[in-house]
Amino acid sequence: MPATNPSSILVLGIGNVLWADEGFGVRCVEALASAVALPEHVRLLDGGTQGLYLLPFLEEAEALLVFDAIDYGLEPGTLKLVRDGEVPAFMGARKMSLHQTGFQDVIATAQLLGRCPHKLTLIGCQPVELEDYGGGLRPQVAAAIPGALDLARAELAAWGVEIAAGRSAADLADPSIRRTAYEQGRPSAEEACRTGDARFFPGSL
């Protein structure tokens, strides 16, 4: 019998927008929500760093598409798509932050309960910089967002999703920390040290 298309799809962006390229996944979901009109059975969600709190959303989905910054060991800004059984392996191979450990646990728990989505797709981007608290996406990673959205459109189309230009309802973070507001309102590195308290750096006293 031919495979049926999933009747419920979760498109999830995970990461921490406060740590430079860690915010790639979240920014992809924001950009997708403002660029395409998706049917009601496709849910867009900013998962942030919520870890196991995301489990109920996975349990409701037959297919899951995740955007995230992933250390693939590739050139910075490079995109890589992996599917199904490869997804947990790549999310745990080179952990860059606690959110990846947490999301790996979410997938493992959903599998243990027999409630994991049947289809898994991860669209990851090799980061440039993570150790910049309060920093935004680096140019190479920001430039990868359109390509990541193209990969997502193709994957959703393969799952039978009809996609049109427009906007989609989405569960996103507060408008004050979405990309445009965050970038425009963020002080420069000179105005606000983002690596620690400058008074305690060696040689500063």
pLDDT in tens, 144-173: 999 999 999 999 999 999 999 999 988 887
- pLDDT for residue 201: 57
Q: Are 135 and 20 in contact (CB under 8 A)?
A: yes
Q: What is the percentage of the chain residues whose pLDDT exceeds 90?
A: 54
Domain ranges of the chain: 9-200
Alpha-carbon radius of gyration of the chain: 18
Going by C-alpha positions, the residue among 94, 92, 127, 145 that lies closest to residue 22 is 127
Over residues 67-81, the mean pLDDT reads 93
Cβ-based neighbour number of residue 167 at 10 Å: 12
What pLDDT sits at residue 132? 79
φ, ψ of residue 178 to 5 degrees: the values are -70, 165
* The pLDDT of residue 91 is above 80: no
- CA 107/CA 113 separation, integer angstroms: 10
Token representation of residue 78: 């490079």
Q: How many residues does the chain have?
A: 205
In the predicted model, what is the mean pLDDT of residues 185-191? 69
* Amino acid identity at 201: F
Asked if 63 and 43 touch (Cβ cutoff 8 Å), the reply is no
Cα distances (angstroms) measured from residue 47 to each of 51, 100, 188, 193: 8, 12, 27, 27
Predicted confidence at residue 69, as pLDDT, reads: 92
200, pLDDT greater than 70: no
In percent, the amount of the chain with pLDDT more than 70 equals 83
Q: What is the pLDDT of residues 19-53, one digit of tens each?
A: 889 999 999 999 999 999 999 999 999 998 888 88
Fold annotation for 9-200: Rossmann fold (3.40.50)
Q: What is the pLDDT of residue 13?
A: 95
Q: Give the chain's mean pLDDT.
A: 85
pTM for the full predicted model: 0.85
Q: Which residue has the higher pLDDT, 7 or 178?
A: 7
CB 95 within 8 A of CB 101: yes
pLDDT value of position 1: 37
3-state class (DSSP) for residue 76 = coil
Inform me whether the pLDDT recorded for 197 exceeds 60: no
